[in-house]
Amino acid sequence: MNKSDYIIRRETINDYHEVEELAREAFWNLSVPGCSEHYFMHVLRQHKAFVPELDYVIEINGRIAASVMYSVSDLTDENGNKKEVLTMGPICVLPEHQRKGLSRILLEYTFAKALEMGFDTVINFGNPDNYVARGYKSCKKYNVSLEGDYYPAALLVKELKEGSLAGKKWVYHQNDADAPCDDAEAVEKYDSLFTPKVKAWQPSQEEFFIHSHSAITW
């Protein structure tokens, strides 16, 4: 996509509903029947870990086509020292604009901004297919685990500054911004503010189950 074909800019309060509609279009039935990402955006923007300076959208012909958000989480080393890192997500692109490079544009742009802000690492759970071309690696490669020496296959790490995680063993403590999404009733209530959509099974939900229940063990 040519630079003249799109505008990349910060999300404003006037965009909130359109961005959440976009999330709903992109995530609906992808990981589970329905989705909660639009509700997640709604609660994330109000959470103390949210980073508004990295809340970006891409606009094409006056319509928002892509969105990315970040929050702050912690890594702890073997000595208990904490390091702040960015948790990326949600990221989403309108279905009709997917696979045209918009997430690449959003990520590369916001990674550069994040580096300017002093962050050197981005971490998120996700389908590796979407991230390895952006330089993300398995958490195992950087010795970043969850509590209990557990290395999820879907836990992906991007060093914005090469070597920033080198020489240490880290435990990732993700912020709790997504905790409200466990409340199915709250998700349903929020979803009722949007145009009704049909919940259904699709094969990507099995792919999600496999990715989210897999670990790197050697």
93 vs 149: CA distance, rounded Å:
33
Bridge partners (DSSP) listed for residue 85 = 73
| 93 near ligand COA, judged by CB under 6 A | yes
Q: Quick one: CA torsion of 146, 150, 155, 161, rounded to 10 degrees?
A: 70
178 vs 56: CA distance, rounded Å:
19
Residue found by looking up tokens 């466990």 in the block: 182
Q: Smallest distance, Å, CB 80 to ligand COA?
A: 30
| 96 near ligand COA, judged by CB under 6 A | no
Per CB under 6 A, contacts with ligand COA among 63-92 are 91-92
Closest to 89 (Cα-Cα) out of 156, 167, 15: 156
> Which stretch in 45-53, 102-110, 140-148, 188-196 sits in contact with ligand COA by CB under 6 A?
102-110
Q: Smallest distance, Å, CB 28 to ligand COA?
A: 9
Q: Smallest distance, Å, CB 69 to ligand COA?
A: 12
Token pair for 32: 């589970």
Inter-residue contact 60 to 97 (CB < 8 Å): yes
Identify which of residues 93 and 181 has a Cβ nearer to ligand COA in the complex.
93
| 103 near ligand COA, judged by CB under 6 A | yes
Q: Smallest distance, Å, CB 81 to ligand COA?
A: 29
| 57 near ligand COA, judged by CB under 6 A | no
| 169 near ligand COA, judged by CB under 6 A | no
Neighbour tally for 121: CB within 10 Å = 22
Contacts with ligand COA by CB under 6 A lie at 26-27, 30, 91-93, 98-104, 126-127, 129-130, 133
